[in-house]
Amino acid sequence: MALIVQKFGGSSVADAQRVMNVARIVTETYKQGNDVVVVVSAQGDTTDDLIEKAKEINPNAKTREMDQLLAAGEQISISLLAMAIEGLGFPVISLLGWQAGFNTNSVYGSARIKNIRTNRLQAELAKHNIVVVAGFQGINRYDDLTTLGRGGSDTSAVAIAAALHADKCQIFTDVEGVYTADPRKVEGAQKLDEITYDEMLELATLGAQVLNNRSVEMAKKYSVELEVLSSLNPVPGTIVKEKIKMEKMLIRGVTKDTDVALISVVGVDDNPGVAFKIFSKLAHKNINVDIILQSVGRTGTKDVTFTVSKDNGPIAVEAIRELPQLEDKEIKCKTDVAKVSIVGAGMESHPGTASKMFEALYEQNINIQMISTSEIKISVIIDEAEANRAVNAVHNAFLPND
């Protein structure tokens, strides 16, 4: 007998029929002799609808009240799922975040889990109940409700799996697993049987929105074996774990991220501390910077280039324009760009990987505006209009469709 944590996202429980479908998956697992804890998100568009309601009344509502409001979404979905499971004749109980022992800090809207007091969870499992837990939410030291931010239900599921030393944490989504590229856009995209945490982290960061990044980080930290699989099609998914069996595949995936703005500051005086000033200013404004390049410009000057999310582009430009050192400098912001990346733990020991990628782009006559590399990732910034063509070309170079 194993203890399995299963997580279902909002689209998996969007209506009565889908709730019944989830109930069948859960009870099937239970019938096989497993203890089951189920983590669910709010139904379909509930969270967005609630945010809409709030904005109509007060566009600047305090985050405490927003969390109080949003937590109602999972409250609805857990009780409905519990009723569905009950209807199939299985013992079940639903628990809100605080009932399941989720203690968080007080950063409303994106709270961090501090610990899970598992006594209630364990008591319910001891009674052989299927336990349905509200994802995305917890409680702080003041007894006020908190939410973990978007994608927080993944984190809730992994946290429970870690706290209960579960044998597996299954993340059910509307895709069948992790692919080498977006299967809707890239012909020959392949489902991966296995992937390492690090590879998954790079893929998650790079726009493959299968798993929330925090949840992968947590799974890695506590060695929770993850499986990404479909709630609609009962086939094996993709296993995410620390070490995977060697495969011939050099790379794990090709991703595209169009939420990129490219900002360049040209002709900065070549003095120490300018880069520091720029990025401390951005950090102060809570703007996340992705790729950073600093190159030698004309005599005695340098160019600083970096990427942020599209939304943050204009905010970042405005922020750094306030710096006296950049008063008379040219600051450019391009938003019609995209980031295309390849990810794979195998590339570390294959020096030809980068040139193979660049060659594929060159053959398509695609101009590379910026390059960034890490141990298991190579990213390029190109024109947004060429992104799909680039992904296909690169995918075909590394993972030929045969």
* CB 104, min distance to a second copy, A: 16
Q: How far is the CB of 227 from a second copy (least distance, A)?
A: 27
Residues 6+ apart with CB under 8 A from 90: 27, 30, 130
Give least dist CB 7 to a second copy, A.
19
For 266, residues 6+ apart whose C-beta sits below 8 A from its C-beta are: 297, 303, 329, 330, 331, 332
Nearer to a second copy, 79 or 388 (CB): 79
* 340 contacts 256 by C-beta, under 8 angstroms: yes
For residues 33 and 28, what is the distance between their CA atoms, to the nearest angstrom?
A: 9
Packing angle of the helix pair 63-87, 46-57 (nearest 10 deg): 150
Strands 35-40 and 130-134: parallel
Nearest CB to a second copy, comparing residues 124 and 386: 124
Nearest CB to a second copy, comparing residues 77 and 341:
77
Q: 26 or 308: whose CB is closer to a second copy?
A: 26
Would you say 145 or 189 has its CB closer to a second copy? Answer: 145
For the bound state, the minimum distance from the C-beta of residue 195 to a second copy, rounded and expressed in Å, comes to 35
Rg (CA), the chain: 23
Question: 3-class DSSP state for residue 28?
Answer: helix
Q: Give the shortest CB-74-to-a second copy separation in angstroms.
A: 9
Give least dist CB 326 to a second copy, A.
38
Closer residue to a second copy in complex, CB, 73/152: 73
- Beta carbons within 10 angstroms of residue 234's beta carbon: 12
Judged by beta carbon, residue 116 or residue 186, the one nearer a second copy is 116
Check: CB of residue 167 under 8 Å from CB of residue 107: no
The residue among 52 and 187 lying less far from a second copy, judged by its C-beta, is 52
Closest separation in Å from C-beta 256 to a second copy: 38
User: Nearest-CA neighbor of 232 among 1, 12, 2, 3?
Assistant: 12
CB 260 within 8 A of CB 307: yes
Non-local (6+) Cβ contacts of 93 within 8 A are 82, 124, 129, 130, 131, 132
Q: Shortest distance, CB of residue 36 to a second copy, whole angstroms? A: 17
CA–CA gap between residue 353 and residue 130 (Å, rounded): 48
User: Taking the complex as a whole, how short is the minimal distance between the CB of residue 151 and a second copy, in angstroms?
Assistant: 22
Q: Considering beta carbons, is residue 62 or 298 the nearer one to a second copy?
A: 62
Pairing of β 238-241 and β 253-269: unpaired
Interaction site with a second copy (CB under 8 A): 16, 19-20, 50, 53-54, 56-58, 60-62, 64-66, 68-69, 71-73, 75-76, 78-80, 82-84, 86-87, 93-94, 96, 99, 120, 143-145
| CB 57, min distance to a second copy, A | 5
Residues 6+ apart with CB under 8 A from 314: 333
Which residue lies nearer to a second copy by CB, 78 or 162? Answer: 78
> Is the torsion defined by CA of 380, 381, 387, 390 positive or negative?
negative
DSSP strand pairing (3-8 vs 35-40): parallel
